[in-house]
């Protein structure tokens, strides 16, 4: 296994940030690491990368004990922290040259810098000062720095934070490509992004592991609930749906695009068609799907 975490625990005073969790990630896997704010995701990632020392438990990266050989394991890890610390007074290429020197890339540095600039889409901005870049391009610089030494393991904490929808799709494709021959563990609050990239997810809540399974298995275990997606051209108030007993939860993801959770998609779709006729809605699409990562996440982390 590229990452093996066993009985990992970290406390801060009376608060247990990470509580005896164990999981492993193999080469070629892209695994979503999920949890609400304060669940212990960033703390776990920092321990895997060696930036924090656990109170108990063990972590192996590429078969090497992180506690016993922290510098050696860091050579195998590319880490994009949530805060993405950068030197704003440096220029993009200057900063990447500095990171290349840290990793002792030597004669390979120039070619590798050019490669990661292209991979992360920094070509239009690489001559600029980092402080003058948008938040999205700052994220790209952090990702480029994490990739520079061609590590076998990537730990990405909110890698698409601050990116616009087009940039998110571009970085998503980069991560999917990298995941073919690397191990990728990444956290994100954008669950649609996780569904688009990952086959497997790990969910923690209040420091404890609450799920570790293939995405398809989690959806099948979503308590028998289904999600009906209704897209209409009109603006509909939520009160129209809240009075329907068939609907457990409703969410307008964007104007006219509703996700409705139910136990009977057949009955609900029939009722929605009746409502559409009564109210002259123009239905763009109406379909159902078994569960959703969002409904699974809420059921495991609420309360």
Hey, which CATH number is domain 222-301, 1.10.8, 3.30.70, 2.40.30, 2.30.30?
3.30.70
From-to residues of CATH 3.30.70 in the chain: 222-301
Return the CATH fold of 3-219: Rossmann fold (3.40.50)
Residue pLDDT tens, the chain, 303 long:
799 999 999 999 999 999 999 999 998 899 999 999 999 999 999 999 999 999 999 999 999 999 999 999 999 999 999 889 999 999 999 999 999 999 999 999 999 999 999 988 899 999 999 999 998 899 999 999 999 999 999 999 988 877 888 888 888 888 888 888 899 999 988 888 888 888 899 999 999 999 999 987 887 665 556 778 899 998 888 888 877 777 877 888 888 888 888 766 778 888 889 888 988 999 999 887 766 787 788 878 875
Strand bridging mode 183-187 / 64-65: unpaired
CA distances from 41 to 10, 35, 246 (A): 12, 7, 35
Cα dihedral 48→52→57→60 (10° resolution): 30
Q: Locate CATH 3.40.50.300 in the chain.
A: 3-219
Report field, pTM of the whole predicted structure over 0.85: no
**pLDDT of the residue at 113:** 97
């Amino acid at each position: 296994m590229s990452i093996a975490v066993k009985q990992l625990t970290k406390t801060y005073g009376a608060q247990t940030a990470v509580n005896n969790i164990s999981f492993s990630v193999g080469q070629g896997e892209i695994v979503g690491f999920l949890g609400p704010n304060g669940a212990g995701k960033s703390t776990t990632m920092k321990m895997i990368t060696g930036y924090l020392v656990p109170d108990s438990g063990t972590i192996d990266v590429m078969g090497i004990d992180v506690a016993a050989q922290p510098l050696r394991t860091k050579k195998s890890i590319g880490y994009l922290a949530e805060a993405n610390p950068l030197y704003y007074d440096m220029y993009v290429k200057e900063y990447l040259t500095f990171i290349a020197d840290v990793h002792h890339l030597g004669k390979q540095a120039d070619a590798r810098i050019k490669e990661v600039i292209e991979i992360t889409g920094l070509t239009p901005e690489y001559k600029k000062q980092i402080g003058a870049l948008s938040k999205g391009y700052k994220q790209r610089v952090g990702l480029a720095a994490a990739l520079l030494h061609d590590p076998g393991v990537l730990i990405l904490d909110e890698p698409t934070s601050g990116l616009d929808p087009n940039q998110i799709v571009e970085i998503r494709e980069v991560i999917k490509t990298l995941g073919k021959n690397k191990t990728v563990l990444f956290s994100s609050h954008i669950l649609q992004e996780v569904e688009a990239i990952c086959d497997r997810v790990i969910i923690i809540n209040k420091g404890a592991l609450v799920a570790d399974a293939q995405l398809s298995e989690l959806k099948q275990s979503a308590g028998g609930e289904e999600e009906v997606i209704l897209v209409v051209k009109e603006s509909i108030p939520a009160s129209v749906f809240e009075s329907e007993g068939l609907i457990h939860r409703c969410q307008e993801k964007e104007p006219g695009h509703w996700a409705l959770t139910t136990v009977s998609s057949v009955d609900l779709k029939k009722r929605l068609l009746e409502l559409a006729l009564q109210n002259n809605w123009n239905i763009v699409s109406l379909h159902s799907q078994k569960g959703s990562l969002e409904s699974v996440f809420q059921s495991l982390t609420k309360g």
